[in-house]
Structure 1
Amino acid sequence: MLATRFTDVFGIEHPIVQGGMMWVGRAELAAAVSEAGGLGMVTALTQPTPADLVREIERTRALTEKPFGVNLTILPSISPPPYDEYRRAIIDSGVGIVETAGSSPEPHMAAFKEHGVRVIHKCTSVRHALKAQAVGVDAVSIDGFECAGHPGEDDVPGLVLVPAAADALSIPFIASGGFADGRGLAAALVLGADGINMGSRFLCSAEAPVAQAVKERIVQASELDTNLILRPLRNTVRVAKNAVSDEVVRILDAGGDFPAVQPLVAGARGRKVFEEGDLDAGIWTVGMVQGLIRDIPAAGEIVRRTVEQAEEVLSARLSLFTRRGMTCGTTQTPGNR
């Protein structure tokens, strides 16, 4: 078993977290990940109202008795969702784990702490992770540049970001962005993380509530088949490469502004991709890691084989270096020279 500080704090068996993906983090997927020993995530804002979120939490509980969390992404908006009401729905439902993302979780920390809710905050830089640690979160999830969705504006990949976070943080943290199998989990642990977050890998699972065409596209795609959109506006988002994201890049590179692309990046269009399987209906998020995804297994199988492969990789590498060390350290007699 790969027990870490993260598994100890959050009461789970394996150091694997399912990303809280918009339109994707529903009961069936979250429960399947948790049942396999990972940490499943229900996405709060996928539900149209706080009352709907309560019902989705109840559906998840009917499918698993193991711990699961709720993702609450907090972003500035002209017409923001009722975040306080979603927070209250989470607390009143007795959920013990929340993943916050977007803006600082500080305004919500007192309420969560009062009710014993453990908080993971998603960050894209060490400086943001340190701020989250300072306001009292229990763990952070730190996204490298490879990730789907918002990678931040620093363009620091996980190979640098993860050990930098390990050097700076005192609380547990998990690595996110670029993880699809046990090799990635093993690497993250060696670099100092306490586990991994996987979004795109679970997006391409049997339980993910998206059209089969989306999953098949991920299997067919390579690590080159993503676009970084909205970069000139310093609101970078990594999405699947398709006709719509190509057009967004073209317009902004030619000097266009946000109103020129706003109809193209509307969330309703991305939801249509997931629900109907029209891959060019809108933008949809997926990471570079799709180049490592080659099948559509059950979510529980993803958790199990990721852990098994990580254990095999770590054991094999340790054994390799142990044997080499013994060979190099062998004392030779003059007669053997």
Structure 2
Amino acid sequence: MPVASGRFVMDDADHESREGESMRNRFTAMFGVEHPIMMGGMQWVGRAPLVAAVAEAGGLAVLTALTQPTPEDLTKEIAATRERTDKPFGVNLTILPTMKPPPYAEYRQAIIEAGISIVETAGHRPQEHVEDFKANGVKVIHKCTAVRHALSAQRMGVDVISIDGFECAGHPGEDDIGGLILIPAAADALDIPIIASGGIADGRGLVAALALGAEGVNMGTRFLATQECQIHANVKDKIVASTERDTNLIFRNLHNTARVGKNSVSDEVVDLLSRPDAEFQDVAHLVAGARGKNVMEEGNLDNGLYWAGMAQGLIHDVPTVAELIGRIMEEARGIAAQRLPALLA
């Protein structure tokens, strides 16, 4: 008999002989992938070589639209990814509340015209974009940090929710709810599939997410420390050397909380914004996107911010993407075949 976890089915044959086999559920069936593992959008990271590597290894990955300077550059990056893989991949479009927003509608149109059928959305008021994507047959995964936001997105018509716990890199919301509560709360409230994000880096996290009601995982920090990720080796080494305590929460007083890697710059941002009269302008020069790009591309670790989640504490090497996904799936199968049946017995 198969071993089942909710709506998720794993064959019960000896797990040591199953390397490369897929797991089946609504998420893998919907997107035509082998494994319930996703690499979400990451600024300066979601480029063709890494996205194609994840796709080839049987996961789902997305290009980060706003990493590309223009919609025309995004079209070229989509083509470059297709040259590397014929397997499914998508594009992330994150809506940021900025003073000078990028031409979101033009990026959206580039995605649609390129024939992309999977999009990950995130951020501020995505309804216009979701409606256009759905009208053009695009499946939408929307990232949320709260159940109430996930319910709103479900009503909007998205296909899957990526629910981000407090452990995640980037913006964890303002509720400070960890995945152990947030994932099952979302699973209880929603009818559409959910995938779990935040603090997941190995097979233990995958099995835990499935047990809590998710149908897959969305990892970011773990994919930073892979061979195919085109960021500087200094950043990868920093992640490997870091523990789960080596992140900073910035912008708390601005109600735009963000989790970043701990370095001298993020320490200074925390210090400056801890003052009662602090404003964003006090740290604008430290958090500029150009400085963050320099960290990722040139490896100047104390020149700007870099995104990293608590999952750093679970990352101890820099494998290839294929090695990483294979390892996660094998570990998950081992837990399902050995630990869980022992508990039930």
TM-score class normalised by the smaller sequence:
over 0.9
Q: Structure 1 residue 139 and structure 2 residue 160: aligned?
A: yes
Shift of 1:76: 1.7
State the partner residue of 2:19.
none
CA distance in structure 1 between the aligned counterparts of 2:35 and 2:123, rounded to whole angstroms: 26
Identify the match of residue 116 of structure 1 among 100, 121, 137.
Answer: 137
CA distance in structure 1 between the aligned counterparts of 2:310 and 2:28, rounded to whole angstroms: 27
State the partner residue of 1:67.
88
Q: Structure 1 residue 295 and structure 2 residue 308: aligned?
A: no
Q: Structure 1 residue 246 and structure 2 residue 262: aligned?
A: no
Shift of 1:217: 0.6
**Superimposed CA distance per residue, residues 146-186 of structure 1 (whole angstroms, 9 cap, x where no aligned partner):** 00010000000000000000100000110000000000000
State the partner residue of 1:44.
65
Q: Structure 1 residue 157 and structure 2 residue 149: aligned?
A: no
Identify the match of residue 284 of structure 1 among 296, 306, 327.
Answer: 306
State the partner residue of 1:330.
none
Confirm or deny: 8 A CA contact 1:150 1:238 kept in the other structure. yes
State the partner residue of 2:43.
22
State the partner residue of 2:105.
84
Find the residue that maps to 1:152 and give its secondary structure: coil
Identify the match of residue 220 of structure 1 among 223, 231, 241.
Answer: 241
Percent identity of equivalent pairs: 61
CA distance in structure 2 between the aligned counterparts of 1:287 and 1:57, rounded to whole angstroms: 27
CA distance in structure 2 between the aligned counterparts of 1:110 and 1:178, rounded to whole angstroms: 31
State the partner residue of 1:4.
25
Shift of 1:78: 1.3
Identify the match of residue 192 of structure 1 among 213, 218, 223.
Answer: 213
Q: Structure 1 residue 56 and structure 2 residue 40: aligned?
A: no
State the partner residue of 2:225.
204
Identify the match of residue 237 of structure 1 among 258, 262, 274.
Answer: 258
State the partner residue of 1:328.
none
CA distance in structure 2 between the aligned counterparts of 1:233 and 1:130, rounded to whole angstroms: 25
**Superimposed CA distance per residue, residues 3-55 of structure 1 (whole angstroms, 9 cap, x where no aligned partner):** 12111111111110002100000000000001111001100000000000000
Find the residue that maps to 1:140 and give its secondary structure: strand
Report the TM-score, using the length of structure 1 for normalisation.
0.94
State the partner residue of 1:333.
none
Shift of 1:321: 2.2
Identify the match of residue 53 of structure 2 among 32, 35, 42.
Answer: 32
Q: Structure 1 residue 316 and structure 2 residue 338: aligned?
A: yes
Confirm or deny: 8 A CA contact 1:2 1:311 kept in the other structure. no
The amino acid across from 1:318 in the alignment is: L
Shift of 1:304: 1.4
Confirm or deny: 8 A CA contact 1:104 1:132 kept in the other structure. no
Confirm or deny: 8 A CA contact 1:244 1:283 kept in the other structure. yes
Shift of 1:308: 1.2
CA distance in structure 1 between the aligned counterparts of 2:248 and 2:174, rounded to whole angstroms: 15
The amino acid across from 2:299 in the alignment is: G
Find the residue that maps to 1:81 and give its secondary structure: coil
State the partner residue of 1:269.
291
CA distance in structure 2 between the aligned counterparts of 1:260 and 1:189, rounded to whole angstroms: 43
Shift of 1:105: 2.3
Shift of 1:294: 0.2
Shift of 1:208: 0.7
4+ long deviations beyond 4 Å: none
CA distance in structure 1 between the aligned counterparts of 2:329 and 2:126, rounded to whole angstroms: 31
State the partner residue of 1:99.
120
Identify the match of residue 166 of structure 1 among 182, 187, 194.
Answer: 187
Shift of 1:134: 0.3
Identify the match of residue 329 of structure 2 among 303, 307, 315.
Answer: 307
Shift of 1:318: 2.4
Find the residue that maps to 1:263 and give its secondary structure: helix
Shift of 1:112: 1.1
Find the residue that maps to 1:104 and give its secondary structure: coil
State the partner residue of 1:332.
none
CA distance in structure 1 between the aligned counterparts of 2:53 and 2:322, rounded to whole angstroms: 6
Confirm or deny: 8 A CA contact 1:18 1:41 kept in the other structure. yes
CA distance in structure 2 between the aligned counterparts of 1:319 and 1:228, rounded to whole angstroms: 39
Unmatched tracts of structure 1, length 5 or more: 326-337
Find the residue that maps to 1:23 and give its secondary structure: coil
Identify the match of residue 178 of structure 1 among 188, 199, 206.
Answer: 199
Confirm or deny: 8 A CA contact 1:174 1:197 kept in the other structure. yes
RMSD of aligned Cα (Å): 0.9
CA distance in structure 2 between the aligned counterparts of 1:141 and 1:275, rounded to whole angstroms: 28
Unmatched tracts of structure 2, length 5 or more: 1-21
CA distance in structure 1 between the aligned counterparts of 2:152 and 2:299, rounded to whole angstroms: 40
**Superimposed CA distance per residue, residues 68-120 of structure 1 (whole angstroms, 9 cap, x where no aligned partner):** 01000011221100000000000000011000000232111232122211000
CA distance in structure 2 between the aligned counterparts of 1:110 and 1:129, rounded to whole angstroms: 16
Larger radius of gyration between Structure 1 and Structure 2: 1
